[in-house]
Amino acid sequence: MKNITRELIFIIILTFLATVMFLGATTLYQSSALLEEESRNHILAATEDQAGELSTRFSHIQGLVDSLTGTVRATFDTHDMDREKGYVEDYNQGLKDIIRNNLSANQLAYGLYVTYNPDYTGQNDEVWYARTERKITPVRADFGANGRDFTLPYDEDMAYFFKPREVGAGAWTGPYHDRDVKVDVITYSKSINIDGNFVGVAGADITTETTLDLVKSLKLYPRGYAFLLDENMNPIIAPADKEALKHVSAKGGVAEFLGNEERMIIAFTSLSNGWILGTVQPRDIVFKTISKLRTVFFILFLIALVVIILLANWFSRVFSKPIEERQARLEQENSEKDVLLIYQARQAKVGEMMANITHQWKQPLNSIHLIIGNLLDAYDYQALDKEALTAAADKIETITRTMARTITDFTEFLKPPAEESAFEVKRCVKTALSLMEESLSSNAITVKLDLTEPCHAYGNANEFSHVLFNIFNNARDAILDSPSAERNIAVSACIREKGDRKMTCLEVSNEGRQLEESQLRQAFDRYYTTKPPGEGTGLGLYISRLIVEQRMRGFIYLDNWEKGVRCVIEIPSEENDHE
């Protein structure tokens, strides 16, 4: 019966798995196809946006030429031309300012010109300004030396003059090498016809380099590029893969082809002037996210396969056994675990409390020992009087009173915080130092206080005194471990603005041995100590951090300074900053 049940459950789960895998694979295939189509549409849309941007730039050039053409048509007087000798030269004086000003207003154009028809004016004449070295300067064309021929059939570099008349409208021509300025350019020109007379052409140049930079900036993905064709599919900026030209048409669209080294996706669309902009992107980069998605799904399917097979086997075994027996065993195991966890938690709390009490009592007992030793020395040297004895007794009473509060203090530390209030930082500093006076003086350690600025903090003053006591203890031990002859501890306090909080900053600097970076990072870890085994509990700084950061909502950290180690404590100055 058990074997039949186990096999039946296993078969049901495997059937479910096969169904899920089939549905998942089908969904993945359909989703991948949709994502690929969406990616192609995105590339086409981006190419169309870039074509629109490029068309806008070219339209600015066309507008510049249209404006210049309109100006010449409105201001050039053909009757004065026929009557007055030297009319063209006089007219050009005003035309120069117009061309120079119009060119300065357009940063894309390289040159702006008006070329006169020599058959009409009887001479080779041209007004031409170009942008050279960021300055707009006149260009004097050398018609003879550069072989400009105004007769048909015309050369490539004369298309700017003849093509506008052929098509009856403004026309883009090029790229060609302009021999006057020795630059490769693309030009847009428009014929100037006045009263039936062909006066000449107005035009603007864009350097091929500028156009190339514009087109290069249009790539969408790494290793992608863009190209530009004229209305006759002749390359203005040729694609890196010649195969791309076989897939381009004036209608626009998206296609794939095998490039020089990898499969590419090409998108192409027309510009406003009839030219065609194409972008070519590596297929593996375009569909990189989709490939990753497929890989993730495949890995998830494998993981699911392994997990479900394991679960199927486990469930088949589990459910073949009596449910009551299984439930009873689980309840017994859980009960044993609960008892063990409660015992471990209780032991951890007791052990931590005893370790804290041991650490807190160690220094006061040592201080009492030093006070008694000093009294005996004073008695031996007959320097003991009532005043010294009374002072020693008061100190011992203060220390023992503090020791009597230790167990209560640390018991309260494990409970929710006691009522908090504003307290004076200077008073806590002096309280902590008074408990260490004998230890500091016997080791010739000087404490320099810079507490002239009144500084208050909000929290538990007694807990803060414990923190300072731990910090001063570590400062003293660092000085004793250092070979330096200078034995100083500096304490300073000030108020700082930290965001919208007002913080009291206390710095305790010693002139002892500096710490390594790893020691600075671990200094506040529980049970971490730099002292030899048996000489430190590793709890002082750990407890200090708990009090400052968790109970007082402040900050505490260590860093090295030029003579030793500095401990910086920042705690809220007011109740509102403590929240």
Q: 416-578: which CATH number, 3.30.565.10, 3.50.50.60, 3.40.1410.10, 3.40.50.300?
A: 3.30.565.10
Return d(Cα 207, Cα 183) in angstroms, integer. Answer: 7
Return d(Cα 325, Cα 332) in angstroms, integer. Answer: 11
Tell which residue, 469, 478, 468, 398, has the closest CA to residue 443: 478
Q: What is the pLDDT of residue 6?
A: 58
CA 347 to chain centre: 47
Task: Using CB atoms within 10 Å of the CB of residue 420, give its burial: 0 to 12 exposed, 13 to 18 middle, 19+ buried.
Answer: middle
**In which residue ranges of the chain is pLDDT below 70?**
1-10, 13-14, 18, 20-21, 24-25, 27-29, 147, 219, 311-328, 330-361, 405-418, 438, 534, 577-579
Would you say 406 and 440 are in contact if contact means Cβ atoms under 8 Å apart?
no
Return d(Cα 572, Cα 387) in angstroms, integer. Answer: 41
Return d(Cα 241, Cα 262) in angstroms, integer. Answer: 10
Element (H, E) at 66: helix 2-75
76-211 is classed in which CATH architecture? 2-Layer Sandwich (3.30)
Return d(Cα 501, Cα 497) in angstroms, integer. Answer: 6
Strand runs labelled E in 381-500: 421-424, 446-450, 456-459, 488-498
Tokens linked to 352: 């931590």
Q: DSSP letters of 197-246?
A: EEEEEEEEEEEHHHHHHHHHTT--STT-EEEEE-TTS-EEE--SSGGGGG
Would you say 198 and 189 are in contact if contact means Cβ atoms under 8 Å apart?
no
Tell which residue, 415, 425, 480, has the closest CA to residue 455: 425
Which residues, at least 6 apart from 131, have a Cβ–Cβ distance to it below 8 Å? Answer: 103, 109, 110, 111
Q: What is the pLDDT of residue 224?
A: 84
Q: Name the 3-class secondary structure at 145.
A: coil
Q: What is the pLDDT of residue 319?
A: 58
Tokens linked to 109: 């154009």
Return d(Cα 541, Cα 521) in angstroms, integer. Answer: 12
Which residues, at least 6 apart from 303, have a Cβ–Cβ distance to it below 8 Å? Answer: none
Pairing assessment for the beta strands 235-237 and 225-229 based on DSSP bridges: antiparallel
The pair phi, psi for residue 193, each rounded to 5°, is -115, 125
Handedness of CA 175, 181, 187, 192 (dihedral sign): negative
Q: What is the pLDDT of residue 193?
A: 94
Beta bridge partners of 73: none
Q: What is the pLDDT of residue 292?
A: 74
Beta bridge partners of 128: 113
pTM score, whole prediction = 0.46
Return d(Cα 137, Cα 129) in angstroms, integer. Answer: 6
Tell which residue, 224, 237, 222, has the closest CA to residue 276: 237
Q: Helices H, strands E: what count in the chain? A: 15, 18
Q: Name the 3-class secondary structure at 489.
A: strand
Domain boundaries, the chain: 76-211, 416-578
Return d(Cα 367, Cα 433) in angstroms, integer. Answer: 12
DSSP alpha helix (H) spans, 287-422: 288-318, 323-380, 386-413
Q: What is the pLDDT of residue 258?
A: 86
Tell which residue, 104, 114, 110, has the closest CA to residue 72: 114
DSSP alpha helix (H) spans, 232-287: 283-286
Q: Name the 3-class secondary structure at 158.
A: helix
Task: Using CB atoms within 10 Å of the CB of residue 465, give its burial: 0 to 12 exposed, 13 to 18 middle, 19+ buried.
Answer: buried
Return d(Cα 262, Cα 283) in angstroms, integer. Answer: 8
Q: What is the pLDDT of residue 346?
A: 37
